[in-house]
Amino acid sequence: MVENLLLSLESLRANKMRSFLTMLGIIIGISSVIAIISVGNALTASVTSQFAELGINNVTLGIQARSDGAASYDPNSVKVPKDSDRLSTAQIETLMQKFPEIETLSLSDEAGRGKARLGRKTSSVSLTGVNFGYAQANKVNLVRGRYIREADIEAARSVVVVSDRTAEAIYGSIDSAIGSRIVIYTEKAIKEFTVIGVYQYVQSGVQGVTAPGSELETGAYIPVSRAKKDMPYKNFMSLTVIPRAGTDLTLFTEKLSAYLGELYANNKEWEGYAYNMKSELESTNSVMNSLSLAIAAIAGIALLVGGIGVMNIMLVSVTERTHEIGVRKALGAQDSHIRLQFVAEAVMLSVMGGLIGIVLGLGLGFAGSALVGAPFELPVYVILGTVMFSMFIGIFFGYYPANKAARLNPIDALRYE
Amino acid sequence: MIEMRNLTKRYFTGTPNEITVLGGIDLSIKAGEFVAIVGQSGSGKSTLMNIIGALDQPSGGEYELDGTPIQHLNRSQLASVRNHKIGFIFQSFNLIPRSSALKNVELPMVYAGIKKSPRSLRAKKLLDMMDMGERMNHYPNELSGGQKQRVAIARALANDPDILLADEPTGALDSKTGHRVMDIFLRIHREEKKTIVFITHSAELAELCPRVITIKDGRIVSDEAGSRAGGSADG
């Protein structure tokens, strides 16, 4: 076998230009397949990671205005739900008892944006009332002190967890921030808090986008009960549920949806909803997959044409070397030896084309990923698959010419000039 | 070694264009004989040679090679016979152009399934025997006609065949080189005890052979000893 491959290399080298042109079809086909798949993968991966940041496994519950019936949309009066329309703490507790799938849930409420200040030092913050589950749902990474506890919420204590950026801006270091007092000015009120924890601020594509030149605004978390003290509504419009690992998200979301539907069955203006990001991601992915598939099919046609090119050139090669085949048969070559020789040559052609195509395709994929700003993914299984596929092309399109060569009558082949 | 009874070869059988190339050959060649077959072009001597070499099949009659009836063998068995029992030497050398002298000599052994190291060893030994050891890595286009034919003889001997079939092996060489090649055949016959069947135009070379068969119009017209048998081509 190695013998045959070396032999085929020799004969390909003898016709460099022709071999290259034949390979070109395969090169174009393979490189476009590789490029398309790697760019597609990069896009999918970047979308997936963006979704994961948002908490792909979380289920969001909430209420929204009923859009059915004759009610027409009036832009001048955006409806605000009354407190009685909102989800109460008691209702939320019942929910937790009804659904053992719930590991924890995250409650939050915007308590205004403003500045944290100590003396002359300030830092922009957005004040958010949170419960214990918020940290888990939003991947808040505590670096010093502690997070808001159940007791803080029950007592509605004036405690705050600030970002490392805020701590450094105001106290100079995150260590001296713990236990310090801080004044937070919002549009509505001036409040004093005790800093109990510092979390690590992570810049992400989703949150913390600031205009150039403006100061970075980071979150400051206070107990949700403390935030509600200053707000007209005590109940919640939405909350995030974190299900236990292994929960069937689709089924769970449906169950929650049904439960909320029942809860709001008698409400004329408002209805409950449950929503999960994963189903959204899946539909996005399926669109991208079918797009990739369509382009890959076109590349597949290029490969088919390339394969026919290989077959054509192999037929020429067999005719050209008829006399040589006769000599080989006179020396005792079996049909299988001749067949293997020509199949090896075709495989060599297409695999070499495939390898060049892979290198080219990876280059294109890399450039393409950079262009769309997605991380480049090296699809190893695609590379293996492509090598196998080009080998298959060689065998498939090389077999007929090779068999033709093998079946030649020795004396006719030998007499052929 | 070779037994032929009423062997015929016809083309376009059953049509008005039917051509009889061999019209009933009875021939017996014993192991170790050195036989020259002479005849004009078109006499059928090459066809006879191809049938002896299991390259071509007769239209009728019987042919036994070393006790094996050749006309009953399939393609694969015929290939095996050509590989193991017969060594071909051609007028136009027929070396594989993209392979070195060494690789050319190794080729029949590749087809016989002999492993790389013993194969290479034997090929080198055979090339040394033909005084071609120093040029074993040369390609055919880098060799002279006489050198090519010596490589071809080494290749024919690769699988230690019983019979060497040479089809005008000196036809493409000048007379001096041709004589030298003829001497090699005489030496192989003497030292290796091979059966050699040798087609030639040259009456001068045929005379050196112990047995000379003359063919005309597809029939054997004479079968006698060469007048200078036992001599040397140069002598």
pLDDT tens digits along A171-189 = 888 888 888 888 888 877 7
Q: Establish if B100 touches chain A: CB-CB under 8 angstroms.
A: no
Q: With beta carbons less than 8 A apart as the criterion, state whether B222 and B216 touch.
A: no
- Which SS3 state, helix, strand or coil, does residue B45 take? helix
Structure token pair of residue A361: 């395709």
| Yes or no, beta carbons of B82 and A328 under 8 Å apart | no
The confidence score (pLDDT) of residue A76 equals 56
Which residues face A223 on adjacent strands?
A: A130
Mean pLDDT for B196-222 is 89
Q: With beta carbons less than 8 A apart as the criterion, state whether A84 and A234 touch.
A: no
The alpha carbon of residue B120 is apart from the nearest alpha carbon of chain A, in Å, by 13
pLDDT tens digits along A12-59 = 887 888 889 989 989 988 888 888 888 887 877 777 777 766 667 788
- Does position B196 have pLDDT exceeding 90, yes or no? yes
Alpha carbons within 13 A on the beta-carbon side of A401: 28
Q: Which residue is listed with tokens 């196998």?
A: A388
- Does position A142 have pLDDT exceeding 90, yes or no? no
- Does position B112 have pLDDT exceeding 80, yes or no? yes
- Does position B65 have pLDDT exceeding 90, yes or no? yes
Chain B partners within 8 Å of A340 (Cβ): none
| Yes or no, beta carbons of B94 and A410 under 8 Å apart | no
**Pairing mode, strands A59-65 and A238-243:** antiparallel
Q: With beta carbons less than 8 A apart as the criterion, state whether A408 and A330 touch.
A: no
Number of Cβ atoms within 10 Å of the Cβ of A311: 20
The alpha carbon of residue B112 is apart from the nearest alpha carbon of chain A, in Å, by 8
Nearest beta carbon to residue B111 from set A11, A323, A333: A333
| Torsion from C-alpha of A399, A404, A406, A410, nearest 10 degrees | -170
List b or e across B29-68, with b for residues whose CB sees 16 or more CB atoms inside 10 angstroms. beeebbbbbbbeeebbbbbbbbbbbbbbebbebebebeee
Chain A partners within 8 Å of B56 (Cβ): 410-411
Which of A120-134, A231-245, B16-30 reaches the highest mean pLDDT? B16-30
Burial zone of A229 (CB within 10 Å; 0-12 exposed, 13-18 middle, 19+ buried): middle
Mean pLDDT for B123-151 is 94
Q: Establish if B122 touches chain A: CB-CB under 8 angstroms.
A: no
Chain A partners within 8 Å of B83 (Cβ): 331-333
- Does position A206 have pLDDT exceeding 70, yes or no? no
Task: Please tell me the distance from the alpha carbon of residue A347 to that of residue A341, in angstroms, as a whole number.
Answer: 10
For the domain B35-57+84-224, what is the CATH superfamily, name and number? P-loop containing nucleotide triphosphate hydrolases (3.40.50.300)
- Which SS3 state, helix, strand or coil, does residue B34 take? strand
pLDDT tens digits along A289-315 = 888 788 878 888 888 888 999 999 999
- Does position A269 have pLDDT exceeding 70, yes or no? yes
The alpha carbon of residue A403 is apart from the nearest alpha carbon of chain B, in Å, by 14
Task: Please tell me the distance from the alpha carbon of residue B35 to that of residue B33, in angstroms, as a whole number.
Answer: 6
Residues above pLDDT 90, as percent of chain A? 20
Cα–Cα distances in angstroms (integers) from residue A230 to residues A147, A155, A182, A192, in the given order: 22, 15, 18, 13
Q: Establish if B59 touches chain A: CB-CB under 8 angstroms.
A: no
Task: Please tell me the distance from the alpha carbon of residue B95 to that of residue B110, in angstroms, as a whole number.
Answer: 15
Chain B partners within 8 Å of A10 (Cβ): 98-99
Residues of A at the B interface, defined by Cβ within 8 angstroms? 3, 7, 10-11, 14, 323-324, 327-335, 337, 410-411, 414
ipTM: 0.93
Which residues face A110 on adjacent strands?
A: A128
Structure token pair of residue A167: 């701590």
A–B CB contacts, 8 A cutoff, strictly below: 59
A215 secondary structure, DSSP code:
P
| Yes or no, beta carbons of A332 and B79 under 8 Å apart | yes
Mean pLDDT for A200-222 is 67
Task: Please tell me the distance from the alpha carbon of residue B136 to that of residue B5, in angstroms, as a whole number.
Answer: 42
Residue of A nearest to B56 (CA): A411
Q: With beta carbons less than 8 A apart as the criterion, state whether B84 and B161 touch.
A: yes
Burial zone of A87 (CB within 10 Å; 0-12 exposed, 13-18 middle, 19+ buried): buried
pLDDT higher at A1 or A235: A235
Q: With beta carbons less than 8 A apart as the criterion, state whether A238 and A61 touch.
A: yes
The alpha carbon of residue B54 is apart from the nearest alpha carbon of chain A, in Å, by 9
Chain B partners within 8 Å of A14 (Cβ): 98
Nearest beta carbon to residue B110 from set A3, A330, A335: A3
In chain A, what are the helix, strand and coil shares in percent, each to the nearest 5? Answer: 55, 20, 25
Mean pLDDT for A84-102 is 85
What is the full DSSP assignment across A32-46? HHHHHHHHHHHHHHH
Task: Please tell me the distance from the alpha carbon of residue A225 to that of residue A160, in angstroms, as a whole number.
Answer: 12
Nearest beta carbon to residue B80 from set A7, A11, A332: A332
The confidence score (pLDDT) of residue A214 equals 60
Chain B partners within 8 Å of A410 (Cβ): 55-56, 78, 82
Q: What is the largest CA-CA distance in chain B?
A: 56
Q: A interface mutation test: which of B98, B119, B159, B162 has the most A CBs within 10 A?
A: B98
Q: Establish if B162 touches chain A: CB-CB under 8 angstroms.
A: no
Q: Which H helix or E strand runs over A150?
A: helix A150-155
| Yes or no, beta carbons of A332 and B82 under 8 Å apart | yes
Q: B interface mutation test: which of A331, A407, A415, A416 has the most B CBs within 10 A?
A: A331
Task: Please tell me the distance from the alpha carbon of residue B193 to that of residue A314, in angstroms, as a whole number.
Answer: 43
- Does position A78 have pLDDT exceeding 60, yes or no? yes
Note the helical H segments in chain B: 45-52, 75-84, 101-111, 116-129, 145-156, 175-192, 203-206
Chain A partners within 8 Å of B90 (Cβ): 327
Angle at A405 between CA A403 and CA A407, to 5 degrees: 70
Number of Cβ atoms within 10 Å of the Cβ of A401: 24
| Yes or no, beta carbons of B96 and A328 under 8 Å apart | yes
Task: Tell me the torsion sign for CA atoms A312, A317, A322, A328.
Answer: negative
Structure token pair of residue A172: 């100079």
Nearest beta carbon to residue A410 from set B55, B90, B111: B55
pLDDT higher at A399 or A110: A399
Q: Which residue is listed with tokens 């290029």?
A: A302
Mean pLDDT for A196-210 is 68
- Does position B138 have pLDDT exceeding 80, yes or no? yes
| Yes or no, beta carbons of B94 and A327 under 8 Å apart | yes
Spatial CA neighbour of B197 closest among B184, B181, B185, B179: B185
Cα–Cα distances in angstroms (integers) from residue A100 to residues A95, A96, A176, A255, A279, in the given order: 9, 7, 41, 12, 22
